[in-house]
Chain A
Amino acid sequence: MQLSREALLRAYRQMKVIREFEERLHVDIQTGEIAGFTHLYCGQEAVAVGVCEHLTEDDKIVSTHRGHGHCLAKGCDVNGMMKEIWGSREGLCKGKGGSMHIADVDKGMLGANGIVGAGAPIAVGAGIACKLDGKGAVAITFSGDGACNQGTTFEAMNMAVVTKASCIFVFENNHYSEHTGFEYAVGTQKDIASRAEAFGMKVWRGDGTDFFSVYETMREVLDYVRAGNGPAAVEFDTERFFGHFEGDPQRYRGPGELDRIRELRDCLKNFRRNVTEAKLLDHADLDALDAEVLEAIEESVRQAKAAPRPTAQDVLEDVYISY
């Protein structure tokens, strides 16, 4: 663990931004002011941040329906995202996409995605482009334990191997796809990484509730792929703290499950304990960041509420032709 003080503070801040962004959405969605389907990333922050802290704007990521964390970790603007989710015309996608379709291609964020399993093939193409560009950049696809059952994911894994694409399959196993358990839906009832291995990829595994596990694992994975060895896969075991979508009554959970994972598998608590026990940072450093982040999220909501709304004419913009 050779991270500088600045790098540690930055990583914590990034995770905290995602956490507070989502906790705030969870509250604001109850008021009915925010439209559409929203899937919160709370609980999985260590994965997005532990991956993206290694990346530059040349590296690409492809995200999922649960994309806010990936977007924020890859550098999408907090205010632009909040405005998008609130449906403003100043949102990152002018209010046309919403929560499930946030993208910032200039930042290497090739889009959240409403279609489960659609991301992996896109990352193969982006990974081939990275290889063609020859600058050592990589393309990363995030997929859930549910998405790993999609034929598109299988095809993408094989094609990445065959084309030696500079592509990394990051599987976030949070044990649930919608209301269905991992053990039912993934026939091997084992892990996802061994599937990727069967496609001919080198694979890694890590604890997706521990930033340091993710970060150190990704250092190895990225060294391997950036060196031109072709694709790789990594599975992180993690937790989702909220329901599948906002409004999900979660009756599929066990008694006390949510309290237990919030207590024992919270990446922010784990991070704080690790760095304070190792005397790398003290509580005051982190408390100051907490306050700063809360204010930043508050400000993003203020802006989102005040931002101009789209108008009927906007419907006909951004298409190559309209009838």
Chain B
Amino acid sequence: MTKMMYRDAVLTTIAEEMERDENVVVLGEDVVGGMGTPGGPEAIGGIWSTSTGLFGKFGAARVIDTPISESAIVGAAAGLALSGKRPVAELMFADFIGVSLDQIWNQIGKFRYMFGGKTKCPAVIRMAYGAGYNAAAQHSQAVHQMLTGMPGLKVVMPSTPADVKGLLRQAIRDDDPVIFLEHKALYGVTGDVPDDKDFTIPFGHARLSRAGEDVTIVSTGLLLGFCEAVADKLAAEGIGCDVIDLRTTSPIDEETILDSVEVTGRLVVVDEAPPRCSLASDICATVANKAFASLKAPPQAVNPPHTPVPFARELESAYLPSADKIEAAVRKVLSYR
């Protein structure tokens, strides 16, 4: 085990995979940084420091700094993937998928099926998502809701450095297109990471981060930590919560959720995207369908409101699901006897 930050888990996984497989290439805006400037290449790394040093190690042919052209970045990843390479493209902010949406939605997500299963498209599209920095409506969004709804894409949302390692390695080795969503507020979080250079975590396997028999809480990414804090607080009162970290939203680990709800009979889903047609409403519906007999209370969803992400500190913190809101939802499901 090595202690490292979430952002370093991203960087070292990419570096190890580039070392192992020469078909792995990286592309994105400022992934080298300083190109064409007096300071020169790598004068400054990408803004998340998730590609620092790759250019020096692997060279310009495999670490491609791109112009501001998201549509062409994802499109190029598609073409690279169809040509036997394993591109890892970075979109900087998840919000910028808007510019590249056709290439994600109509192209990389559809090749395998549309071409009769005769091709694979091993592209990874990484992006930083999420609120918490007062970066306002176009730099703060959680985009998994829309992407999870698109057939053909795998969608990954790691919450710990170890999960970054195992899931990103799996994403790079996977033969299908993977959207890899990194929460920008987690980049500085530290945790133990396995040293094994073949450590992978299969998609569709949730992680039980807290165990208890009274309530099931399901979440991902940044909000998972809020859920754990609530579970720890309630544990002191003798209330036990299963806290399930989904890790991937597509494929989704229904079994772990259903098994837990069969014991607890009470479900709270905590989701960073707006409430309509959301991950939370999807999971509540699945549980209502498949574990109806076990339910002791109506499943509760905790989402932000149906608005764009607001700027001011007071507004953004009112917007985001908080530990208080999660606790209130847990107490609500417990109030049903």
Contact = CB atoms under 8 A, between A and B. Distances in A.
B189 interface: no
Interface in B213-240: none
B29 A101 contact: no
Nearest to B100: A151
B47 A97 contact: no
B312 A252 contact: no
Contacts of A178: 29-30, 47
Contact of B68 (A96, A97, A146, A323): A146
B95 A115 contact: yes
Interface residues of A, number: 56
B30 A87 contact: no
Nearest to A149: B67
Contact of A252 (B29, B34, B313): B34
B38 A253 contact: yes
A255 B313 CA distance: 38
Interface in A82-131: 87-89, 93, 95-98, 100-101, 113-117
A185 B36 contact: yes
Interface in A171-191: 176-187
Interface stretch (B119-127, B133-141, B201-209): B133-141
What is the interface of chain A mostly: helix, strand, loop, or mixed? loop
Contact of B138 (A115, A152, A182, A250): A115
B276 interface: yes
A321 interface: yes
Interface stretch (B5-13, B251-259, B314-322): B314-322
Contacts of B306: 319, 321-323
B137 A101 contact: yes
Contact of B67 (A36, A146, A310, A311): A146
Contact of B136 (A97, A116, A316): A97
Contact of A181 (B35, B274, B307, B314): B35
A310 B68 contact: no
B117 interface: no
Contact of B33 (A89, A93, A179, A255): A179
A60 B13 CA distance: 48
B169 to A, nearest CB: 28
Nearest to B303: A323
Most chain B CB inside 10 Å of its own CB: which residue of A116, A252, A311: A252
Tell me what chain B mostly uses at the interface: helix, strand, loop, or mixed.
loop
Contacts of A229: none
A13 to B, nearest CB: 29
B109 interface: no
B311 interface: yes
A257 interface: yes
A314 B315 contact: yes
Contacts of B98: 115
A2 B190 CA distance: 64
Given A96-B311, A114-B136, A178-B30, A184 B36 contact: yes
A184 B65 contact: yes
A132 interface: no
Contacts of A135: none
Contacts of A183: 36
A35 B314 CA distance: 11
A110 B249 CA distance: 37
B96 interface: yes
B106 to A, nearest CB: 15
Contact of A316 (B33, B44, B276, B307): B307
A185 B314 contact: no
Contacts of A89: 312
B139 A87 contact: no
A257 B38 CA distance: 9
A251 B34 contact: yes
B35 A184 contact: yes
Given A101-B136, A178-B47, A185-B35, A309 B68 contact: no
A96 B33 contact: no
Interface in A132-184: 146-147, 149-152, 176-184
Contact of B34 (A151, A180, A319, A321): A180
B219 to A, nearest CB: 19
Interface of A: 35-37, 87-89, 93, 95-98, 100-101, 113-117, 146-147, 149-152, 176-187, 248-255, 257, 309-312, 314-316, 319, 321-323
Interface of B: 29-30, 33-40, 43-44, 47, 65, 67-72, 95-96, 98-99, 133-139, 274-276, 305-308, 310-315, 318-319
Give 6 closest A-B pairs by Cβ, nearest first. A184-B36, A181-B36, A254-B38, A87-B312, A98-B311, A114-B138
